[in-house]
């Protein structure tokens, strides 16, 4: 028992760091700078110090922030109590997107003006996904049954979009190979959990379809997770088919691991953990540290010019992923990988002067872009990692049983 004490002390120290970072640094930044109390919703373009550089509002970030603030309210309500400020802030976003973000056919705009007029709609379904995610958690926080029903209604359309992308205005052209994307089954698997109520299992067949589609991207022979594969899961030898996003693959791994824990699928637990291990082995920059953004599985230069940058969100996913992997496996290498990611991240991303984290570093780990909020960075990946990471660290330090535990609920 005594030999475990240094490890337990380390885990408790990380738990305290996650908690303090979340409640004393990250959430205060968003609560101070992002709330638009005049028109509703959240500002999503904030400079380093929180000042506004664009009033445009990106809807998938609105939905993510509604989810985050609602989840924080729900967690505090069950533990330390809450004064309601996070629920009030969540309502600010929920009302705004319910009033302004919906287009015809249960489509959701990608961006709006500050007042809520539509600016742009994507030929993708991710704005819809985070609209659903935000309203589902807000309904749990507020008791608003109409918000829950709206989330379920839009989720029905999301399922159709996932199986038939032509509904999004993306026709299958003659010269275009038919492929499947990692992003679709992984986000749907996560969304199923978000829309299910306590004790519900509303979409068992869809969940199994998501798992089946997700596993097509996991290639044990190459020890790699591919972003794009052919419909049967086979390898596509093009830049798109060779593309690897290590952080995205680790996120897919912990989504699958969480599903496996909730459903008692021990076979999937091992597969999910292996996928995270492969992605770390392939994606960690052994010279400068940190996870590459993109890599080519064939060893070619990726076409994405930002391929070698170190972004905040892949590291956030790795923090969650390897904590979960360690909780389930008990293997020292998973704790070491968590430690490696955590030390890199907390050393380079935080802004000690103005709070929150920078989002984009160059390969050497120097700040490349100073803003704190932009079309793809909002109040989500970092606070989610800190919140879920704290929960797993609590489980580890309290020595609770690992089997069947769910991180995200």
Give the pLDDT score at 399: 55
Instruction: Quote the CA–CA distance of 225 and 295 in Å, as a whole number.
Output: 11
- Calculate what percentage of the chain has a pLDDT beyond 70: 96
Give the pLDDT score at 409: 39
Give the pLDDT score at 401: 36
Task: Evaluate if residue 382 carries a pLDDT over 60.
Answer: yes
Task: Evaluate if residue 15 carries a pLDDT over 80.
Answer: yes
Task: Evaluate if residue 230 carries a pLDDT over 50.
Answer: yes
- Kindly state the tokens that stand for 4: 């475990």
Give the pLDDT score at 331: 96
Task: Evaluate if residue 70 carries a pLDDT over 80.
Answer: yes
Q: How confident is the model at residue 78 (pLDDT cuts 50, 70, 90)?
A: confident
CB atoms within 10 A of CB 343: 11
* Per-position DSSP letters for 3-38, written without gaps between them: GGHHHHHHHHHHHHHHHHHIIIIIHHHHHHHTB-TT
- Residues 234-291 have pLDDT tens digits of 999 999 999 999 999 999 999 999 999 999 999 999 999 999 999 999 999 999 999 9
The H-or-E segment that residue 283 falls in is: helix 266-283
Q: Does residue 163 sit in helix, strand or coil?
A: helix
Instruction: Quote the CA–CA distance of 87 and 74 in Å, as a whole number.
Output: 9
| pLDDT average, residue stretch 322-347 | 98
Instruction: Quote the CA–CA distance of 32 and 22 in Å, as a whole number.
Output: 14
Instruction: Quote the CA–CA distance of 365 and 55 in Å, as a whole number.
Output: 29
Q: How confident is the model at residue 407 (pLDDT cuts 50, 70, 90)?
A: very low
CB atoms within 10 A of CB 168: 18
Q: Which residue has the tokens 């609920």?
A: 409
Q: Which of 324, 205, 326, 226 is nearest to 279 (CA)?
A: 226
Q: Which residue has the tokens 């970030």?
A: 61
Q: In whole numbers, what is the pLDDT of the chain averaged over residues? A: 95
Q: Which of 12, 15, 18 is nearest to 383 (CA)?
A: 18
- Residues 140-195 have pLDDT tens digits of 999 999 999 999 999 999 999 999 999 999 888 999 999 999 999 999 999 999 99
Exposed / middle / buried, residue 191 (Cβ in 10 Å: 0-12, 13-18, 19+): buried
Task: Evaluate if residue 408 carries a pLDDT over 70.
Answer: no
The H-or-E segment that residue 225 falls in is: strand 224-225
H helices of 82-241, where?
85-100, 126-142, 145-163, 183-195, 204-215
């Amino acid at each position: 028992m005594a030999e475990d004490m240094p490890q337990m002390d380390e885990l408790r120290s990380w738990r305290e760091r996650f908690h303090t970072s979340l409640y004393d640094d990250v959430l205060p930044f968003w609560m101070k700078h992002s709330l638009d109390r005049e028109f509703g919703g959240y500002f999503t373009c904030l400079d380093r110090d929180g000042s506004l550089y664009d009033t445009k509002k990106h809807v998938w970030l609105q939905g993510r922030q509604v989810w985050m603030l609602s989840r924080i309210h729900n967690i505090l309500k069950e533990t330390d109590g809450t004064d309601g400020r996070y629920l009030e802030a969540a309502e600010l976003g929920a009302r705004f997107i319910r009033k302004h973000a919906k287009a015809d056919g249960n489509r959701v705009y990608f961006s709006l003006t500050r007042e809520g007029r539509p600016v742009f709609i994507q030929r993708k379904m991710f704005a819809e996904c985070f609209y659903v995610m935000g309203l589902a958690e807000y309904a749990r926080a507020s008791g608003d049954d109409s918000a829950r029903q709206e989330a379920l209604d839009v989720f029905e359309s999301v399922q159709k979009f996932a199986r038939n992308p032509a509904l999004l205005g993306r026709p299958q052209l003659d010269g275009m190979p038919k492929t499947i994307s990692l992003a679709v089954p992984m986000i749907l698997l996560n969304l199923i959990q978000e829309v299910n109520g306590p004790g519900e299992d509303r979409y068992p067949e869809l969940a199994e379809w998501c798992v089946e589609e997700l596993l097509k991207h996991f290639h044990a022979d190459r020890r790699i997770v591919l972003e794009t594969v052919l419909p049967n899961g086979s390898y596509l030898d093009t830049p798109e088919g060779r593309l690897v996003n290590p952080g995205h693959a680790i996120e897919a791994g912990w989504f699958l691991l969480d599903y496996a824990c909730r459903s008692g699928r021990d076979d999937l637990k091992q597969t999910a953990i292996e996928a995270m291990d492969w992605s770390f082995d392939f994606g960690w920059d052994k010279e400068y540290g940190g996870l590459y953004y993109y890599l080519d599985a064939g060893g070619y230069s990726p076409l994405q010019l930002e391929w070698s940058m170190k972004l905040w969100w892949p590291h956030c996913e790795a923090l969650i992923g390897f904590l979960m992997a360690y909780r389930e496996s008990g293997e020292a290498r998973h704790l070491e990988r968590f430690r490696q990611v955590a030390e890199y991240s907390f050393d380079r991303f935080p802004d000690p002067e103005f709070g929150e984290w920078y989002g984009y570093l160059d390969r050497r780990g120097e700040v490349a872009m100073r803003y704190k909020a932009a079309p793809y960075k909002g109040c989500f990946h970092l606070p989610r990692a800190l919140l879920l990471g704290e929960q797993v660290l609590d489980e580890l330090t309290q020595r609770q049983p690992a089997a069947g535990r769910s991180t995200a609920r």
